[in-house]
Amino acid sequence: TKDVTAAKIEVGDIIQIEANQRVPADVVFLRTTDKSGSCFIRTDQLDGETDWKLRRAVHCTQRLSSPGDLCRATGWCHVEAPRQDIDEFTGKFVLTRAPSPAPPAPPLASFGADGDCGCESRLEAGELDGDRQTEGEKKNCEEEQLMVSTHGGRTTRDGEQPIVEGLTLDNVLWANTVVASGSVLGLAIYTGKETRATMNASQATMKVGQFDLEVNLMSKVLFGILALLAFVLVALRRLEGIWPIYFLRFVLLLSSIIPVSLQVNLVMAKTLYSIFIMRDRRMKDTVGPPTQPVLSSRVPLFRDFPLVSPRSSFSSFPSSLSVASLSAASFFACSFELSCPSLSPSAASQVVRTSTLPEELGRIDFLFSDKTGTLTRNEMHFKRLHIGRAMFAEEGLTELRVFLESYFLRSHPVSPANADQPSWRDRERARTGERERGRELGGRRGEVVHAAVEAIRALSLCHNVTPVKDEDSQITFQAASPDEVALVTFARDIGVKLVHRDEHCIRLEARRIPLEKKINSSKSHRTHRSMQRSAFYVPGGAALEYSVLTTFPFSSETKRMGIILREASSQKIFFLVKGAEAVMIPRLQPKGSHWLQEECDNFARQGLRTIVLAQKELSEAEYDLFATRYAAARAAMTDRHSKCRREIERLEEDLRLLGLTGVEDKLQNDVPATLEALRHAGVKVWMLTGDKVETATCIAVSAGLKARQHSLTILSSQSIRTPSQTQEALERFAMGPSESVLVVDGRVLGAALQHFPHYFVRVAAQAPAVVCCRCSPTQKADVVRFVKKFTGRRACAVGDGGNDVSMIQAADVGIGIVGKEGRQASLAADFSITQFSHLRRLLLWHGRNAYQRSAKLAQFVIHRGLIIAFIQVIFSAIFYFIPLAIFQGWLQVGYATYYTMAPVFSLVLDEELPEDVVFMFPELYQTLKNGRVLSVKTFFGWVWKSIYQAAVVMMGAVALFENSFTNVVSITFTALILAELLNVASEIQTWHPLMIASEICTVVIYIFSMFILRSYFDITFIMTLTFWAKVTAVTLVSWVPIQIFKAVKKTLQPPQHAKLASP
């Protein structure tokens, strides 16, 4: 072996990946140190799901005696062409020569748990699209002395049959996932830009805010006004002389119309807004980081990966793939450290990464949010268990715990260490008989005990959870679904603990728990270690062992899972099933299940995820008959899947209901309040998640995304299979009630975006909220782009995982949440926060203030240039249109700098309304989205205001002419400065000490400069009362009428905030 950097990995290399290390390329899972031949991976940075997923090694390579045998073996791997889909994979693996002794060959077609065939049969039929075979590949085949058989397989020259296995998603580890358990050997099949993670990532683009675009448009209009005024002045001279020269002179004289300093002021203002956001103490992390890191160690950014076999004898088709084209920058973007231990509130506070977009926070129309880690905490909590005769909530489980203890531990507890002794089975049979007699004599209490025990036993057995021992020999639960971990954890917390699980056996321990010990069943599996250290279980208990006969895994198609078990003590065979109520109710016995639908509705109204438990006891004859039929169905060469499903559904008939569970995905703090405030603010929230429809719907209910008056309309691929059906469903939704939340799964969404995106966006935009399920990262970004394109509205995207980066970059404003799943989204976002609830303050307060302040600042800067330009126009018109500047030298320079800059810029400290009013009435946010603060109407309003004030100042000065041009300049300029200060003061809503200081300092500086600039001011004249009387008169005439007009307008048409602020 040798160590190489991730960038040097090539297709065909065999890579060794240790636990808690990120997978650097797409690899076929060949071998693991775990005896079960499987490992868990974390995919949170790929699809946003935090639950660990199980992957299985290729059977023939896992059976090799040592990793060295893997290097000495030869074979080839045929995979599909690179594509974006992370949920499907098709390929085949052929082991042509293995070291002696060779492992037993599996059948040519590998079967799934429900009878699905591997891809080998499809390969033989030539249905693997996009495959490529190059000359180099043919050469590899010749060097291995292989030839194509008539069956489409391959054999060696000596006639030995090769081992052929179909590859599915379970045999592949995508790049950017993390190996969570064991040490893995994988064959690199895609590298660089052709990995799934990179193909689902989008390139970052420079974002320009709508506010900046509007300011740029106004600058263009001002340039047109400048050219028009210069041409009019030249035309009024009757185009005498060399008129183009006069035109250019007037352009220079009126150049103050172009707001050259506007961008400088806005950049400074945006920087100040960013500082306000980052220093906001109310947006600090109040929850704190998790007490335990998600992983026990950090994932290095750039490390050397051991190459067990560089360019091994396993050739990966197609060999023409680009090799390791990940640049350092792109690898950094997708490989930031995973664990976030010891984050202090100050270290995990909000960060502004793009300081040019604060104003956009005040004009958001659509908010696109991820679910896992964004709305939720990634923590599943058990809430309810209903068994028909009784219901148990998490608040009071003492009685349920007593039931279990009386059932399992009634006589002489057995330690697990004695479970293998012969006398243990005798005692178990004796206790079984005693329990049966107790049920006969115990009356109603005995029935409740028996029903509760059966439900808890089903929770402990019917799942795909695997207990895993960590470095401290402590057991943690891992599974593909956090729901199952929550239910198994709940069973453990009340006394029935899962201690062992493999393909053939499940072992439980029934433990006695002290009555005074408070049950905390809501803790996740991550806190299991701390619970055991506190001596949660006491010594003594019964060991319960079950043989696994057949397993039917959960699928989105069936919405249920099942398992057939044989109890070791009684040799009874049980068939346990759990799933969604929609598919379970038709399969239940009518007797004893009448209460189920009503309780499911009650649980759903509480935002709980419901799972129905059922059981069927099988005799030996019944099981043998099923096993025979199921084996024949799995061996069928045609229509295998439907035949297997038919046999399973026949077994699922006449199930006996055991109970109903309710699990809650814990929301972050104040999520419902935040979503409600955003809804009242006119922001439409779309939840884009990679989770299934049922889970997303429950979160939408519990988070308040679906209000009480709203209904749900679900467009699922289970009922909609073609684009035409999708369009018909959208038409029905458009004609239905307007208060209906639209729920769309990934396949329906993909069809809509591909065939009629404009119609989909137009219909979905009318819904109060939209939930898109099973979304890939690319689909999330496409939804954001299409909504922006077809609605013309501003979009904001918020997420916390690597799968949200594309969506964040596609939005007008991207917000990343620093959470338990790394900081990739935070680093790619424009703004980084620590909780979803911070969005309320970020948008309604900081966004509002930034937009209003910048709008006011921009219009004042434009007004400042217009008024002096119009004074110049009137002056030139009075003096026969001569191109002579009225203000020259230091007066012209100081007007836009030390005379007016501080008061005008102090407007960035203004607050139109107090915080409590803004948060009490989020509807005020809607007035900002319409752009009324900075619009064509307000722009020309300031233009007319500039014309009026310029005319009064200039004409007033001429009327009070004192036989000296210097006196005209003195009166005009002084009145102009004072009018600007009064204009600023009249626009301020909330006075800040710095505002008062800027006004006073400007007056002091101006008076001081009058004594210094003797060439512009007549000291004798300005020291007289006549001068100040004339200046005051001119200033008041230019300012007071405007204020009277504003007061009358405000009285007749009061703004919305004035109505709310009034007592």
pLDDT digits 0-9 by tens, 672-719: 999 999 999 999 999 998 877 877 888 888 888 988 888 889 998 878
Question: Cβ atoms within 10 A of the Cβ of 531, count?
Answer: 16
For the segment 388-398, the average pLDDT, to the nearest whole number, is 79
pLDDT score recorded for residue 290: 36
Q: Give the model confidence (pLDDT) of 881-932 as tens digits.
A: 888 888 888 998 899 888 999 999 999 999 988 898 899 999 999 888 877 8
> What percent of the chain is modeled with pLDDT above 70?
78
Token pair, residue 428, equals 């178990």
Phi, psi of 667, rounded to the nearest 5 degrees = -80, 160
Confidence of residue 118 (pLDDT cuts 50, 70, 90): very low
CB 92 within 8 A of CB 165: yes
203, pLDDT greater than 70: no
Q: Which strand ranges, in their side-by-side order, compose the sheet holding 366-369?
A: 351-352, 831-833, 813-817, 795-799, 366-369, 684-688, 769-772, 740-744, 711-715
- According to the annotation, is 578 in a ligand binding site? yes
Are 31 and 66 members of one domain?
Answer: yes
Q: Give the model confidence (pLDDT) of 787-837 as tens digits.
A: 999 999 999 999 987 778 889 999 999 999 886 656 778 888 999 998 999
- According to the annotation, is 3 in a ligand binding site? no
CB 805 within 8 A of CB 825: yes
Are 26 and 104 members of one domain?
Answer: yes
β-sheet bridge partners, residue 184: 17, 32
Angle 170-173-174 (CA atoms, 0-180°, nearest 5)?
A: 120
pLDDT score recorded for residue 542: 67
114, pLDDT greater than 60: no
Q: Give the model confidence (pLDDT) of 333-381 as tens digits.
A: 232 222 333 333 334 467 888 888 999 999 999 999 998 788 888 777 8
Q: Which of 630, 647, 664 is the last residue of a domain?
A: 664
Are 153 and 90 members of one domain?
Answer: yes
866, pLDDT greater than 90: yes
CATH value at residue 94: 2.70.150.10
Are 807 and 850 members of one domain?
Answer: no
Alpha carbon separation from 497 to 310, 432, 473, 528, 536 (Å, rounded): 45, 19, 16, 12, 12
β-sheet bridge partners, residue 242: none
pLDDT score recorded for residue 51: 66
- According to the annotation, is 362 in a ligand binding site? no
Are 851 and 795 members of one domain?
Answer: no
- Residue 82 is classified by DSSP as P
318, pLDDT greater than 60: no
pLDDT score recorded for residue 50: 63
Question: Cβ atoms within 10 A of the Cβ of 71, count?
Answer: 17
Highest averaged pLDDT of the listed ranges 110-119, 134-143, 748-757, 813-822: 748-757
540, pLDDT greater than 70: no
Let me know if residue 234 belongs to a domain: no
Farthest CA pair distance, the chain: 126
68 vs 71: CA distance, rounded Å? 5
Are 468 and 602 members of one domain?
Answer: yes
Let me know if residue 536 belongs to a domain: yes
Are 704 and 804 members of one domain?
Answer: yes
Helix axes 848-878, 936-959, angle to 10 degrees: 40
- According to the annotation, is 690 in a ligand binding site? yes
- Alpha-carbon Rg for the chain in angstroms: 37
Token pair, residue 838, equals 């911070």
- For the chain, how far is it from start to end, CA to CA, in angstroms? 79
Token pair, residue 903, equals 């008061």
Higher per-residue confidence, 416 vs 448: 448
Alpha carbon separation from 659 to 436, 594, 654, 959 (Å, rounded): 20, 12, 15, 94
CB 387 within 8 A of CB 381: no
- According to the annotation, is 372 in a ligand binding site? yes
Confidence of residue 125 (pLDDT cuts 50, 70, 90): very low
- According to the annotation, is 774 in a ligand binding site? yes
Q: Convert 773-820 into a string of H (helix), E (strand) and C (coil).
A: CCCCHHHHHHHHHHHHHHHCCCEEEEECCHHHHHHHHHCCEEEEECEC
Phi, psi of 300, rounded to the nearest 5 degrees = -65, 150
Q: Alpha-carbon torsion 807, 809, 815, 817, what sign?
A: positive
Confidence of residue 556 (pLDDT cuts 50, 70, 90): low
Is there a catalytic annotation at residue 426?
no
Domain that holds residue 1020: 261-278+844-1061
46 vs 777: CA distance, rounded Å? 8
Let me know if residue 726 belongs to a domain: yes
30 vs 189: CA distance, rounded Å? 12
Let me know if residue 762 belongs to a domain: yes
663, pLDDT greater than 90: no
Q: Give the model confidence (pLDDT) of 759-781 as tens digits.
A: 999 999 999 999 998 888 889 99
969, pLDDT greater than 90: no
Active-site hit among 370, 493, 665, 910: 370
77, pLDDT greater than 60: yes
- According to the annotation, is 689 in a ligand binding site? yes
264, pLDDT greater than 70: yes
Are 72 and 115 members of one domain?
Answer: yes
CATH value at residue 734: 3.40.50.1000
1006 vs 1011: CA distance, rounded Å? 9
H/E segment holding residue 231: helix 210-236
Among the ranges given (144-148, 770-774, 868-872, 963-967), the one the predictor scored with the smallest mean pLDDT: 144-148
List all residues 6 or more positions away from 862 whose beta carbon is below 8 Å from its beta carbon.
218, 222, 259, 262, 939, 942
Are 710 and 642 members of one domain?
Answer: no
909 vs 897: CA distance, rounded Å? 19
Let me know if residue 1002 belongs to a domain: yes
Higher per-residue confidence, 727 vs 298: 727
Confidence of residue 287 (pLDDT cuts 50, 70, 90): very low
537, pLDDT greater than 50: no
322, pLDDT greater than 80: no
- According to the annotation, is 35 in a ligand binding site? no
β-sheet bridge partners, residue 95: 75, 163
Higher per-residue confidence, 342 vs 49: 49
For the segment 298-316, the average pLDDT, to the nearest whole number, is 43
73 vs 185: CA distance, rounded Å? 14
| Burial of 206: CB neighbours in 10 Å, binned 0-12, 13-18, 19+ | exposed
Confidence of residue 274 (pLDDT cuts 50, 70, 90): very high
- According to the annotation, is 756 in a ligand binding site? no
Are 460 and 503 members of one domain?
Answer: yes
Are 639 and 696 members of one domain?
Answer: no
Higher per-residue confidence, 108 vs 276: 276
Q: Which of 779, 811, 839 is the last residue of a domain?
A: 839
- According to the annotation, is 643 in a ligand binding site? no
> What percent of the chain is modeled with pLDDT above 90?
35
Higher per-residue confidence, 95 vs 539: 95
Confidence of residue 295 (pLDDT cuts 50, 70, 90): very low
375 vs 799: CA distance, rounded Å? 9
Q: Convert 998-1054 into a string of H (helix), E (strand) and C (coil).
A: HHHHHHHHHHHHHHHCCCCCCHHHHCCHHHHHHHHHHHHHHHHHHHHHHHHHHHHCC
Phi, psi of 954, rounded to the nearest 5 degrees = -70, -45
Whole-prediction pTM value? 0.69
Q: What is the overall mean pLDDT for the chain? A: 78
pLDDT score recorded for residue 1059: 67
pLDDT score recorded for residue 335: 28
pLDDT score recorded for residue 206: 77
285, pLDDT greater than 70: no
320, pLDDT greater than 70: no
Let me know if residue 221 belongs to a domain: no
**In one letter, which amino acid is 188?**
A
Are 411 and 560 members of one domain?
Answer: yes
435, pLDDT greater than 60: no
Q: Give the model confidence (pLDDT) of 500-513 as tens digits.
A: 887 788 998 877 65
pLDDT score recorded for residue 412: 36
Let me know if residue 220 belongs to a domain: no
Let me know if residue 439 belongs to a domain: yes
815 vs 804: CA distance, rounded Å? 10
841, pLDDT greater than 90: yes
- According to the annotation, is 370 in a ligand binding site? yes
Q: Give the model confidence (pLDDT) of 175-202 as tens digits.
A: 989 998 788 999 999 999 999 988 887 6
**Coil, helix or strand for 242?**
coil
pLDDT score recorded for residue 438: 45
Q: Which of 637, 664, 691 is the last residue of a domain?
A: 664
pLDDT score recorded for residue 554: 80
pLDDT score recorded for residue 401: 77
CATH value at residue 417: 3.40.1110.10
- According to the annotation, is 280 in a ligand binding site? no
Count of domains observed in the chain: 4
